[in-house]
Structure 1
Amino acid sequence: MSNDVMREAVLTLAGIRRTFRQGGEEIAVLRGVDLTVRPGEIVALLGPSGSGKSTLLHIAGLLERPSDGRIVIGGEDCSRMGDHQRTLVRRNRIGFVYQYHHLLPEFSALENAAMPLRVRGQGRTEAAATAGKLLDQLGLSHRLKHRPARLSGGEQQRVAIARAVVGRPDLLLADEPTGNLDEKTADIVFGELTGLVRGARIGALIATHNLDLARRMDRIVSLHEGLLQAA
């Protein structure tokens, strides 16, 4: 893979391998994964349970180190970074959405959505204004002061999406982002997620079991026996 391609991409994975030891046995989960995600591109990641989708997302998000291979985010090689540098990249360049919203229960919807900006050092008023506009786009302007326990499942996931993109990251990583929602709500929330990502030119890698949602993305790749294949 050329250096020009890596510089242009928001995410490049090259030769990613991940092995685990279970007792005296070595288990290879990822056997040499190559993947490029470009700005504004939404890539669906398919694969059966246990195929390594979450492991691949954790490696791409610098939450887990591979056994071998290169990780380049926004043209910056993160493969040999120390923990502090990896934390800064995650904070400034990557957004995460999970199946379960993982909102902080003691904070309001607005405070949860503004959290990444506050962590970066942005003032409370400015961060709240930015997060408020985003939540308004997601139809939550009347729920800003509500804590997660008072929000529906769809509303909670909208707040989680707002939190993930409020800092305009280069890369969004999502693991079954609508998997905990009913079909109708999942369809609406997924449309809102992809609209925000495309509008901000964020590259996205989204793991899902939902083929209908996968077909609405720009490209589909599938993990099979530790290798990534075009689907």
Structure 2
Amino acid sequence: MSNPVVDLRGLTRSFTQGGVTIDVLRGIDLQIMPGEIVALLGPSGSGKSTMLQAVGLLEGGFGGEIAICGQRAEKSNGDARTALRRDHLGFVYQFHHLLPDFDASENVILPQLVSGVPRAEAEERAKELLTALGLGHRLTHRPSQLSGGEQQRVAVARALANKPELVLADEPTGNLDEATSDRVLEEFLRLVRGQGSAALIATHNERLAARMDRVVRLHEGKLH
């Protein structure tokens, strides 16, 4: 049997505001298997983004155990966390966060170059992904020349460029209208499944969550 891509055990996170401690995550246990697409469902403010930050090794302050692709990460140093993110994870956010001075293709090429992929191979991978997302005619357009849906498609391509074992997505279509949201999510899920990646996708949309392999609900700091 395969090992989990994500293995969370007793994950906790608290914040102190005005002398009051707020327990955002209260003992989260979650395993995600290779190729599995899991929806993390919960209303705004329920802690979905905080949980994704934990899984993505984006900040410290968490209690419990975090293992990514079999590697314990909760106590690893900054360099080790950076290597785990670079080698195993891809990220899609509600806002695309594209580099404005680079065109669509370059935004997808750059993370591959950082990972040591040869330029020619990176260019071919970028073209392949963007074409699959319906942007074959927009490769040389900068973000300011693209619609919101097109920008988010570039962000999806960038997240998948290095074929990560795990893709983390935080309300990836939350900034789009319903019709565009449906199209982008469909393309996203198709590509994730096509390359065999696992995914944890935070959303408050029940209809979108139903299209994924499994739904977990975050309520009062616990998963249900």
What TM-score do you get using the length of structure 1 for normalisation? 0.94
Q: CA–CA distance in 2 between the matches of 1:46 and 1:179?
A: 13
Structure 2 counterpart of 1:180:
175
Residue 124 of structure 1 aligns with an amino acid whose one-letter code is: R
Shift in Å, 1:162: 0.3
Q: CA–CA distance in 2 between the matches of 1:66 and 1:192?
A: 35
Shift in Å, 1:22: 1.1
Structure 2 counterpart of 1:89:
84
Residue aligned with 1:141, SS:
coil
Q: CA–CA distance in 2 between the matches of 1:116 and 1:72?
A: 23
Structure 1 counterpart of 2:37:
42
Structure 2 counterpart of 1:223:
218
Q: CA–CA distance in 1 between the matches of 2:64 and 2:198?
A: 21
Structure 2 matches for 1:195-210, cutoff 5 A?
195-210=190-205
Decide which of 11, 15, 27 is 1:16's aligned counterpart. 11
**Cα deviation per residue 1:40-94 (whole Å; 9 max; x = unaligned)?**
1111111121111000000000002243111111111112110010011111100
Corresponding position: 1:53 with 2:51: no
Residue aligned with 1:65, SS:
coil
Structure 2 counterpart of 1:65:
60
Residue aligned with 1:125, SS:
helix
Q: Provide closer, same or farther for how the CA distance between residues 35 and 66 of structure 1 changes in structure 2, counting only shifts above 3 A.
A: farther
Q: Is the 8 A contact 1:16 1:66 kept in 2?
A: no
Shift in Å, 1:130: 1.1
Q: CA–CA distance in 1 between the matches of 2:104 and 2:13?
A: 37
Structure 2 counterpart of 1:100:
95
Q: CA–CA distance in 1 between the matches of 2:138 and 2:163?
A: 22
Q: Is the 8 A contact 2:171 2:203 kept in 1?
A: yes
**Cα deviation per residue 1:197-228 (whole Å; 9 max; x = unaligned)?**
11111110001111111000011111111101
Structure 2 counterpart of 1:170:
165
Structure 1 counterpart of 2:123:
128
**Root mean square deviation of aligned Cα:** 1.1
Q: CA–CA distance in 2 between the matches of 1:17 and 1:142?
A: 46
Structure 2 counterpart of 1:161:
156
Q: CA–CA distance in 2 between the matches of 1:73 and 1:66?
A: 17
Residue 212 of structure 2 aligns with an amino acid whose one-letter code is: M
What TM-score do you get using the length of structure 2 for normalisation? 0.97
Structure 1 counterpart of 2:69:
74
Structure 2 counterpart of 1:190:
185
Q: CA–CA distance in 1 between the matches of 2:31 and 2:207?
A: 23
Q: CA–CA distance in 2 between the matches of 1:185 and 1:23?
A: 41
Q: Is the 8 A contact 1:44 1:219 kept in 2?
A: yes
Counting matched residue pairs gives 224
Decide which of 26, 32, 35 is 2:27's aligned counterpart. 32
Decide which of 205, 208, 212 is 1:213's aligned counterpart. 208
Residue 160 of structure 1 aligns with an amino acid whose one-letter code is: A
Shift in Å, 1:24: 1.8
